Amino acid sequence: MARFEYDASQLDGDIVTRLKVAHDVTTNQAFEQILAQASERLAEYFRGELQVLGLNDTGQLIDSVKPTDTKTSKDGAKYRDVYPQGNREKDGRSKVVKNATVGFAHEYGVHRAPPNESTPAQHWMSNTVDNVAEEILNIIQQGVEEILKKEIGG
């Protein structure tokens, strides 16, 4: 699972000062829209990486990757998780398999004793986050700056 929380300390000093002057920007409905935009962009990257790695035999894993609704942490930070959600179609299996379990298996790998086939680690989530974190944070930062311009001018 990938989670993007936005920490205002990542902004430059002038922006931080303006944040302190403004009312709590993260309670603003526009901020939730920024999180929605950033998390959907991350989901697109995850789906693309799964496709590139050929982890699309049924399409269920790729189709299941999406952001959650906006949540609030215990310390008040707004966030959205992005991960494979829901259950897989049974395809003759007697047991329900979660898409998150399949995503985890492809991320970290699963070792099985012969004659069963092991699943190699693909690191599709961690590699994607490493490659696009700056872009996702820029989406959030630019959105916060726009909110500030509207809220307090500048």
The pair of three-digit structure tokens given for residue 53, joined into one six-digit string: 């790695």
Phi, psi of 84 (to 5 degrees): -70, 130
Query: Does 81 score more than 90 pLDDT?
Result: yes
What are the beta bridge partners of residue 71?
Answer: 79
Which of 42, 109, 33 lies closest to 81, judged by CA?
42
Domain ranges of the chain: 2-152
pLDDT value at position 114?
Answer: 83
pLDDT tens for each residue of 8-27:
555 555 555 555 545 455 56
Which of 101, 88, 92 lies closest to 58, judged by CA?
88
Q: Quick one: what percent of the chain has pLDDT higher than 70? A: 79
Quote the distance between the C-alpha of residue 116 and its chain's center.
Answer: 32
pLDDT value at position 23?
Answer: 46
pLDDT value at position 27?
Answer: 60
The pair of three-digit structure tokens given for residue 60, joined into one six-digit string: 């269920």
pLDDT value at position 94?
Answer: 73
Query: Does 134 score more than 90 pLDDT?
Result: yes
Query: Does 118 score more than 50 pLDDT?
Result: yes
Contact 26, 77 (CB under 8 A): yes
Phi, psi of 121 (to 5 degrees): -70, 130
Query: Does 125 score more than 90 pLDDT?
Result: yes
- Return mean pLDDT, the chain: 84
Nearest-angstrom CA–CA distance, 115 and 56: 24
